[in-house]
Amino acid sequence: MRAELGSLLNHQLESLMAEFKENLLDWLRDAHAMEQQAETMLKGQASRIEHYPVLKARIQEHIQETIGQRELLEGCIKRLGGSPSTIKDVMGKMAAFGQAVGGMTASDEIVKGAMAGYVFEHFEIASYTALIAAAKTAGDAETARVCEQILAQEEAMADWLAAHLPNVTEEFMVRDATPGVEAKK
């Protein structure tokens, strides 16, 4: 009787952990699509900026971080026996393209872009905060460690944008008020 109870509990525990792993894998795929979207968006922004070299340099630095994050996520997904969802990745790229095109029409695109970047970094912060909890719940210490490492980069980027948004805004306004000087990008 005791042996049967043990086997029942074991079986229930196994299916519980399998369900946890399923959630974790799904959210890792979401994060992977998010990083693909981030890469497309950041590359679009960086390629268009002409008169704001400090912002451009920080975005270029974050593009390299973003590529590393995507690779780290791929490692976690493969370790859990999954593969990144190509459908989500394609949708993410299309959404990023739409945002990039939308941003280009604004006469104050440098300010709108910096604001959008700040918002996007916070979406990433929320995503990795949830992922860390999911990884811990599923007993995946390695994924939790990787997501904590990525989270620190997203927080640093969000902090940098918060600190520099006032400068970018002021520079834009001064350029905009100067005849013959382009301000928007």
Binding site for Fe ion (CB under 5 A): 124, 154
Minimum Å distance from CB 130 to Fe ion? 15
User: How far is 84 from 27, CA to CA, in rounded Å?
Assistant: 11
Select 99 or 183, whichever has its Cβ closest to Fe ion: 99
143 is a site residue for Mg ion (CB under 5 A): no
User: b vs e for 153-169, b when ≥16 Cβ sit within 10 Å of the residue's Cβ?
Assistant: bbbebbebbeebbeebe
Residue 127 binds which one of Mg ion, Fe ion, none, with CB within 5 to 8 A depending on kind? none
Select 120 or 184, whichever has its Cβ closest to Fe ion: 120
Residue 109 binds which one of Mg ion, Fe ion, none, with CB within 5 to 8 A depending on kind? none
User: How far is 168 from 85, CA to CA, in rounded Å?
Assistant: 37
Residues 162, 152, 24, 63, CA torsion sign: positive
Minimum Å distance from CB 84 to Fe ion? 18
Residue 39 binds which one of Fe ion, Mg ion, none, with CB within 5 to 8 A depending on kind? none
Query: What is the per-residue binding string for Mg ion in 3-32, x denoting contact by CB under 5 A?
Result: ------------------------------
Residue 69 binds which one of Mg ion, Fe ion, none, with CB within 5 to 8 A depending on kind? Mg ion
Residues 6 or more apart whose Cβ sits within 8 Å of residue 63: 39, 42, 43, 46
Q: Residue 92 CA to chain centroid, in angstroms?
A: 11
CA-nearest of 113, 95, 116, 114 to 104 is 113
36 is a site residue for Mg ion (CB under 5 A): no
Minimum Å distance from CB 130 to Mg ion? 14
Exposed, middle or buried by CB within 10 Å (0-12, 13-18, 19+), for 33? buried
Residues 48-87 that bind Mg ion (CB under 5 A): 66, 69
Residue 28 binds which one of Fe ion, Mg ion, none, with CB within 5 to 8 A depending on kind? none
* Chain contacts with Mg ion (rule: CB under 5 A): 38, 66, 69, 124
